[in-house]
Amino acid sequence: MTLTWKMGFEIELMAPRGSSRAALAEYVAAQHGGSVRRFFHPQSEPSQVPGQPVFENLTQGFEVRDAAGEPIASFVDDITLQAGLDKSAAPRPGWYRIVADDGRMLRLVMRHCDPDAPLGTLLDPLAALFGTVPQVHDAMVRVADDRGVSIAIGAPLPGERERPCEIVTAPLETGHETRLTELLAGASALGFTLPHEGATHIHFDAARLLSARAIAALVDVLMLHGDALKRMVGTNPNCVRLGRWPDALPALTRSDRFRALPWPEARAALNQTGLSKYCDFNLLNIAAENAAKHTFELRILPSSLDPAPILEAAALFEAILRLASDPPPAIPKSLAMLMAMLPSEAAHYWTDRAQAL
């Protein structure tokens, strides 16, 4: 099977006890004669503090480049992976997280602080921006402004949080199968397993979808057949941060007025429908014109250590996106008829499942 759409893969795995995502990064780098670079990985996690729904935080990510300096993948935490972790386990030396109630403070950390620095001095540059020095309490480091208002706190990473590992590939235009096969073979060799909540996400480059007609057709297909497609690909029922689009989206895209809009106006209208990243099919990056990740994100796939089902699903949705980018006069109402419209190479693996559904 040949994939021709530019896409990136995010595969959630779990390191065995005593290992970490850093170990997989080092293994992959050694396989390529490459190098590992630490970086700050931003996340949001639910907060128990009244009036503060989330805490923004940074954890340690590891980017691998090959011998020529080309990016291969990054290996990062995913806060949704919780089951099976010993939350009472002592923090491992050298692992930390930085927490703040304002993401802007953490962006200052990312810009001015060194992810390779030890926790005791890591936040010194941030404190200097506010004319203060960090306050050390046991193993924690707190930065406050000149009025004593807390800016950020650094603390040892708790409870085996070094074990969750999301492999995030660099965007791939060719060689999709080769890259996934080698990354997942490395994870298997080190004893990585599938998390209870695990998922695989695919980010498809959005360049071919930037028209009102294409987005309207894609919404039509996924509103009609999204639930069946989830059953076909075996969406993990324990996966979190999935869900449906807001009702305002199909109400907008089904209108003749929307379908006639030039792209800038259509995009602006999409951005007013209340889209969220946390849904089955993420259109927010397109609607918000996210320059760093201008993609359609497929979020319904289960985690896998076998590249084959990921590649088969990628081929299926590449074909669906091609159909939407040059839409037919009408979207078939039956899943079997939809599959019949797709190229046989992409659809043959799924035809029997579609007919059964």
pLDDT digits 0-9 by tens, 258-299 = 999 999 999 999 999 999 999 999 999 999 999 999 999 999
What mean pLDDT comes out for the span 181-205? 98
**CA 76 distance to own-chain centroid:** 10
Task: Write down the residue that tokens 């559904």 correspond to.
Answer: 357
Three-state DSSP class for residue 11: strand
> The tokens of 218 are what?
């894609």
Whether 316 maps to a domain, the answer reads yes
Range of the domain at 276: 169-356
Other CB atoms within 10 Å distance of the CB of residue 70 = 10
Q: What percent of the chain has pLDDT over 90?
A: 86
313, part of any domain: yes
- Tell me, yes or no, whether 285 lies in a domain: yes
Residue 352 has pLDDT above 80, yes or no: no
Kindly state whether residue 293 falls inside one of the protein's structural domains: yes
- In a domain, residue 182? The reply is yes
Number of domain units in the chain: 1
Residue 301 in any domain: the answer is yes
Mean pLDDT calculated for residue range 13-20: 97
In a domain, 67, yes or no: no
Task: Let me know: does 297 contact 201? Beta carbons within 8 Å.
Answer: yes
Q: CA 81, 82, 86 angle in degrees (round to 5)? A: 135
Task: State the average pLDDT over residues 47-60.
Answer: 75
Strand partners, 59: 41
| pLDDT over 90 (residue 47) | no
Q: Which of 216, 278, 289, 226 is nearest to 252 (CA)?
A: 216
Sign of the CA dihedral running 317, 322, 325, 326: negative
pLDDT in tens, 79-122: 999 999 999 999 999 999 999 988 999 999 999 999 999 999 99
User: Could you give phi then psi for residue 281, rounded to 5 degrees?
Assistant: -130, 110
Closest CA to 99 of 141, 37, 138: 141
Spatial CB neighbours of 44, under 8 Å, sequence gap ≥ 6: 54, 55, 56, 57, 79, 103
Domain membership of residue 350 (yes or no) is yes
| pLDDT for 51 | 63
Identify which of 139, 165, 166 has the alpha carbon closest to the alpha carbon of residue 153: 139
